[in-house]
């Protein structure tokens, strides 16, 4: 399975989605719980096991999932779980205490379902670019298919019941991952993040909850799902994302008009480091790749494909490097292998 993921060219991190230069990906996540079972945090080991077994027995009956994979989290190593996190297939919470937890992943990695994380099911669909409508069609189809086999915990006057009160209602979390180096370089990003918080939107980093905005990536999502329909949640996010996209484009144009020499210098220096470094940390590599990505988008750098850079954002992560090497690596070994990988891909 992990070898197939490493060679997968069909997954969400492509440049084929609409408006993918700035809006890298669209994600929808539904929280669902099975009727008459306590939430995972209150469930016994035998109850979690029963839930896991139910999902294991039914997942291949769902047409859109049957060519995918079912993973028992306690049967894979910590490194493998870290690898799945780096590919945005599981959460940080799903890595720890793996007993009774599971994962279902479609062959193209667009669909993943965490079992017994905070809720019994966390259904996620992740697509390339600004693609929330298609993403909603896919996740709605998966949700409906599973609901034919499992009775969900639901109250008509409230909606879907979830472990966290902020998810009650539709239990839908919609988000987009944006690359915003222009707003960061022009120092406009702070005011935008403040405004988003006032509008009840949450901003997270490259790997979701609890992570920093490394590489100038920002994941923007709704905070509220109670008393608002799925369509309204998606429409509201679309409106906000379009405004941020326009602000990023304006910031990039400003940099080109007023600061082109220093911008070009920063971008070419970043490429020089990536092509020549012998040791480089994840954080430093992401920072330079972000500038390189901007340089390609603005036409300053030619001859490097955007899909190559997109892929590097993920494969330079620690678990990916170790999976490719087939063994555990110390910090300096990873920095050395990371630098070698970057040099080979950015000749």
pLDDT (tens digit per residue) in 123-177: 999 999 999 999 999 999 999 999 999 999 999 999 999 999 888 999 999 999 9
Is 80 in contact with 53 (CB distance < 8 Å)?
no
Where are the strands (E) in the chain, listed by range? Answer: 23-32, 69-72, 102-105, 111-115, 121-128, 154-155, 159-160, 172-179, 201-204, 217-222
Residues 6+ apart with CB under 8 A from 309: 289, 292, 293, 296
pLDDT (tens digit per residue) in 41-61: 999 999 999 999 999 999 888
Percent of the chain scored above 70 by pLDDT?
A: 95
- What integer best gives the mean pLDDT of the chain? 92
3-state helix, strand, coil in the chain (%, to 5): 50, 15, 35
Helices 318-325, 306-315: axis angle to 10 degrees equals 90
Lowest mean pLDDT among 8-17, 78-87, 100-109, 284-293: 8-17
Q: pLDDT grade, residue 207 (50/70/90)?
A: low
- The per-residue pLDDT for 210 is 46
- What mean pLDDT comes out for the span 309-322? 93
Q: pLDDT grade, residue 208 (50/70/90)?
A: low
DSSP assignments along 188-241, one per residue: -HHHHHHHHHHTTEEEEBTTBTT---GGGEEEEEES--TTS-HHHHHHHHHHHH
Percent of the chain scored above 90 by pLDDT?
A: 80
Residues 6+ apart with CB under 8 A from 336: 278, 279
Helices 230-258, 260-276: axis angle to 10 degrees equals 100
- What mean pLDDT comes out for the span 71-91? 94
Residues 6+ apart with CB under 8 A from 219: 27, 175, 176, 177, 178, 203, 204, 205, 206, 208
Grouping H, G, I as helix, E, B as strand and the rest as coil, residue 104 is strand
Q: Which domains does the chain have, with CATH numbers?
A: 2-180 (3.30.590.10), 260-345 (no CATH)
- What mean pLDDT comes out for the span 239-259? 97
> What does the alpha-carbon distance between residue 192 and residue 31 come to, in Å, rounded to a whole number?
28
- The per-residue pLDDT for 8 is 66
Sheet holding 111-115, edge to edge: 69-72, 102-105, 111-115, 121-128, 23-32, 172-179, 217-222, 201-204
Residue closest to 274 by CA, chosen among 261, 264, 262, 284? 284
pTM listed for this prediction: 0.91
């Amino acid at each position: 399975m992990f070898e197939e993921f490493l060679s997968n060219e069909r997954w969400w991190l492509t440049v084929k989605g609409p408006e993918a230069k700035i809006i890298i990906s669209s994600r929808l996540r539904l929280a669902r719980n099975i009727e008459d079972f306590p939430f995972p945090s209150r469930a016994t080991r035998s109850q979690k096991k029963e839930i896991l077994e139910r999902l294991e027995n039914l997942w291949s009956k769902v047409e859109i999932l049957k060519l995918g994979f079912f993973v028992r989290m306690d049967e894979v190593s910590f490194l493998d779980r870290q690898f799945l996190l780096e590919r945005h297939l599981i959460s940080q919470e799903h890595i720890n205490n793996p007993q009774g937890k599971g994962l279902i992943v479609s062959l193209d990695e667009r669909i993943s379902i965490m079992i017994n994380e905070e809720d019994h099911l966390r259904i996620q669909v992740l697509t390339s670019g600004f693609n929330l409508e298609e993403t909603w069609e896919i996740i709605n189809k998966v949700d409906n298919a599973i609901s034919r086999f499992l009775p969900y915990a639901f109250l008509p006057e409230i909606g879907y019941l979830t472990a966290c009160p902020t998810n009650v209602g539709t239990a839908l979390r919609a988000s987009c991952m944006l690359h915003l180096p222009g707003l960061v370089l022009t120092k406009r990003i702070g005011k935008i993040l403040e405004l988003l918080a006032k509008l009840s939107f949450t901003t997270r980093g490259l790997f979701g909850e609890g992570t920093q905005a490394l590489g100038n990536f920002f994941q923007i999502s709704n905070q509220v799902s109670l008393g608002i329909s799925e369509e309204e949640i998606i429409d509201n996010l679309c409106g906000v994302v379009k405004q941020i996209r326009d602000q990023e484009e304006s910031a990039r144009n400003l940099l080109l008009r007023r600061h082109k020499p220093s911008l070009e210098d920063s971008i070419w220096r970043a490429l020089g480091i990536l092509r020549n470094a012998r040791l480089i940390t994840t954080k430093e590599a992401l920072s330079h790749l972000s500038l390189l990505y901007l340089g390609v988008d603005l036409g300053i750098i030619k001859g490097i494909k955007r899909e190559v850079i997109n892929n590097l954002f993920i494969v330079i992560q620690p678990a990916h490097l170790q999976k490719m090497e087939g063994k555990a690596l110390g910090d300096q070994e990873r920095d050395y292998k990371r630098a070698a990988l970057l040099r080979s891909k950015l000749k």
